[in-house]
C-alpha cells in the first residue's frame, strides 16, 4: 500500500488482527472505501505516536456528511438526546447552574447558550485534560459564563464554611438553582460501536458511583431547584433502578414530566409505576427497523413518520428530571 492508493476499510470486530498482517479472514465489517494518505510503511513505523488521518474516506457506507470544522465558532455537534438534556434542564438567565460531570463540555456550552450567557455555569470534571477541553470549547463559542474546575464531583459538597473558596469547589449545601448530573456510565448506548470489550464487572461497577454523585447533587440543589439525571447507556440498573432508589432515599425530591418529550417512556422492572415511567425519557435505537428498510421505500413516507424515524435512530440514552420540594 502506497500513499494515494484506493483502500477498502474494515472493522476487526473481535480484535484478532495482528499488526503487520498481510491477510485477515476473521470476523470483519466493511466500512467503505477511501484513499490512503500514507504508505503502509509510514503507518506502521509511526505507531503509536502517529496521529491524524490515515485513510480519507471517499465512499463510506454511512451517508451522513462530516461536520468537522464546519463553522466551529457557531456550531457544536451533538447527538439528539444530548441536545434534549439541556432543554429539559431549562436553565434561565441569571441562574447558578452546576454541571457535575461536564467533559467534554457539549452540554455545558449548550446550557450557557440557552441562558444567553447570563448567569454562572460551574463545570466539574476530575480529569485535567478534559477540563481543558471544556475551557477550549467555551472559548471557541465565545461563552463567558462558564467556569470549569478539575475536581471530583463526589467531593463537591462542603458542610461548613471552613475557608472562603471564592466560588470554587467544594460548595456549601443548596448553592445551585439547577444541576445536571450526566453521570459516568457503562456507555452501552453509544453507537456505532463495532467491538465490545466490556466485562460484566465493568458494566455493574457504575451504580455505586452514580448514587454517590446523585446524593451530592441533591444536597447542593436549592429548594425548588431542578436536577436532571442522564446517562448514555441502556441498562435498567443505571437508569430506572437509580430513579427508584432516588425516590426511596430522598423524600425531598419528586419526579417531573419533561419538555420536550421525544424519547420513549421508561422500562419496566425497577418497581416504578406506569405514571412514573411516562415521566422518563429512554432513547432506544433498537425500536427502529432501519437495517431492513429499503431507502427508496422511504420516499413516499409522511414527513411526521420520517421525523419519528430520525428521532429514534440515535444513540441509546436516558433522562430523568427531578424537583427538590423542600430543604435538606
Encode pLDDT of 247-293 as tens digits.
999 999 999 999 999 999 999 999 999 999 999 999 988 877 655 56
- 165 has a pLDDT exceeding 80: no
From the list 194, 140, 191, 221, the residue with the least C-alpha distance to 30 is: 194
pLDDT of residue 163: 65
Check: CB of residue 316 under 8 Å from CB of residue 284.
yes
Q: Average pLDDT of the chain?
A: 91
Q: Where are the domains of the chain?
A: 5-60, 80-324
Per-residue confidence (pLDDT) for residue 290, from 0 to 100: 59
Q: Is 232 a catalytic residue?
A: yes
The structural architecture, per CATH, of the domain 80-324 is 3-Layer(aba) Sandwich (3.40)
Whole-number Å distance between alpha carbons of 241 and 250: 14
Environment class of residue 257 by beta-carbon count within 10 Å: exposed (0-12), middle (13-18) or buried (19+)?
exposed
Confidence band (pLDDT; 50, 70, 90) for 13? confident
pLDDT of residue 117: 98
More confident: 282 or 40:
282
The catalytic residue among 17, 150, 185, 232 is 232
Which residues are known binding-site members? 101-107, 125, 152, 182
Kindly state the DSSP code that residue 168 receives in the 8-state scheme: P
Residue 209's pLDDT is 97
pLDDT mean over 38-45: 87
Q: What percent of the chain has pLDDT over 70?
A: 96
pLDDT of residue 52 exceeding 90, the answer is no
Cell of 216: 451530592
Count how many Cα atoms sit within 13 Å of the Cα of residue 65 in the half-sphere of its side chain. Answer: 3
pLDDT band at 236; cut points 50, 70, 90: very high
Banded pLDDT at 37 (limits 50, 70, 90): very high
- Who wins on pLDDT, 13 or 279? 279
Let me know how long the chain is. Answer: 328
What value does the mean pLDDT take over residues 95-103? 97
Cα(229)–Cα(85) distance, integer angstroms:
9
The pLDDT > 90 percentage for the chain reads: 67
Secondary structure letter of residue 30 according to DSSP: E
Nearest alpha-carbon partner for 314 in 275, 276, 264: 264
pLDDT the model gives residue 44? 81
What is the per-residue pLDDT for 50? 85
Distance in angstroms (rounded) separating the CA atoms of residues 269 and 280: 14
How does residue 164 score in pLDDT terms, banded at 50, 70 and 90? low
> In this model, does residue 91 exceed pLDDT 70?
yes
Tell me what the mean pLDDT of segment 70-87 comes to: 92
Q: How many CB atoms lie within 10 A of CB 183?
A: 26
Residue 96 pairs with which residues in a beta bridge? 120
* Predicted local confidence at residue 293, as pLDDT: 60
- Check residues 183 and 49 and name the one with the higher pLDDT: 183
**Dihedral through CA 233, CA 175, CA 97, CA 164, nearest 10?**
-110
Residues of the binding site for S-adenosyl-L-methionine: 101-107, 125, 152, 182
pLDDT for 192 equals: 73
What backbone torsions phi and psi does residue 270 show, to the nearest 5 degrees? -110, 5
Q: How confident is the model at residue 156 (pLDDT cuts 50, 70, 90)?
A: very high
pLDDT in the model for residue 162: 66
* CA gap 28, 277 in Å, rounded: 39
> Mean of the pLDDT values across residues 144-148?
98
Least confident segment among 12-16, 60-64, 268-272, 317-321: 60-64
Predicted pLDDT of residue 18: 87
Q: Nearest 5°: CA angle at 125, between 122 and 127? A: 145
Amino acid at each position: 500500500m502506497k500513499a494515494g492508493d484506493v483502500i477498502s476499510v474494515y472493522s476487526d470486530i473481535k480484535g484478532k488482527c495482528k499488526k503487520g498482517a498481510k491477510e485477515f479472514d476473521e470476523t470483519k465489517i466493511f466500512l467503505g472505501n477511501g484513499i490512503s494518505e500514507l504508505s503502509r510503511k509510514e503507518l506502521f513505523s509511526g505507531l503509536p505516536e502517529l496521529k491524524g488521518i490515515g485513510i480519507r474516506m471517499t465512499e463510506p457506507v454511512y451517508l451522513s456528511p462530516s461536520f468537522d470544522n464546519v463553522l466551529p465558532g457557531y456550531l457544536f455537534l451533538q447527538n439528539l438526546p444530548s441536545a434534549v438534556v439541556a432543554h429539559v434542564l431549562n436553565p434561565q438567565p441569571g441562574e447558578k447552574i452546576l454541571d457535575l460531570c461536564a467533559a467534554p463540555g457539549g452540554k455545558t456550552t449548550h446550557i450557557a447558550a440557552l441562558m444567553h450567557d447570563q448567569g454562572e455555569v460551574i463545570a466539574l470534571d476530575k480529569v485535567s485534560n478534559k477540563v481543558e477541553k471544556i475551557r477550549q470549547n467555551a472559548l471557541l463559542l465565545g461563552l463567558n459564563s462558564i467556569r470549569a474546575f478539575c475536581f471530583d464531583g463526589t467531593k463537591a459538597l462542603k458542610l461548613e464554611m471552613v475557608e472562603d473558596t471564592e466560588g470554587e469547589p467544594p460548595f456549601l449545601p443548596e448553592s445551585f438553582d439547577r444541576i445536571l448530573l450526566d453521570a459516568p456510565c457503562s456507555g452501552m448506548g453509544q453507537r456505532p460501536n463495532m467491538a465490545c470489550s466490556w466485562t460484566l464487572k465493568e458494566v455493574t461497577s457504575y451504580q455505586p458511583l452514580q448514587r454517590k454523585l446523585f446524593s451530592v447533587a441533591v444536597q447542593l440543589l436549592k429548594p425548588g431547584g431542578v436536577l436532571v439525571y442522564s446517562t448514555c447507556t441502556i441498562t435498567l440498573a443505571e437508569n430506572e433502578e437509580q430513579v427508584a432508589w432516588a425516590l426511596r432515599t430522598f423524600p425531598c425530591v419528586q419526579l417531573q414530566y419533561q419538555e420536550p418529550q421525544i424519547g420513549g417512556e421508561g422500562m419496566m422492572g425497577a418497581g416504578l409505576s406506569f405514571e412514573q415511567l411516562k415521566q422518563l425519557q429512554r432513547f432506544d435505537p433498537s425500536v427502529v427497523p432501519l437495517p431492513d428498510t429499503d431507502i427508496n421505500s422511504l420516499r413516499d413516507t409522511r414527513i411526521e413518520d420520517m421525523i419519528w424515524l430520525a428521532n429514534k435512530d440515535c444513540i441509546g440514552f436516558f433522562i430523568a428530571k427531578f424537583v427538590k420540594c423542600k430543604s435538606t
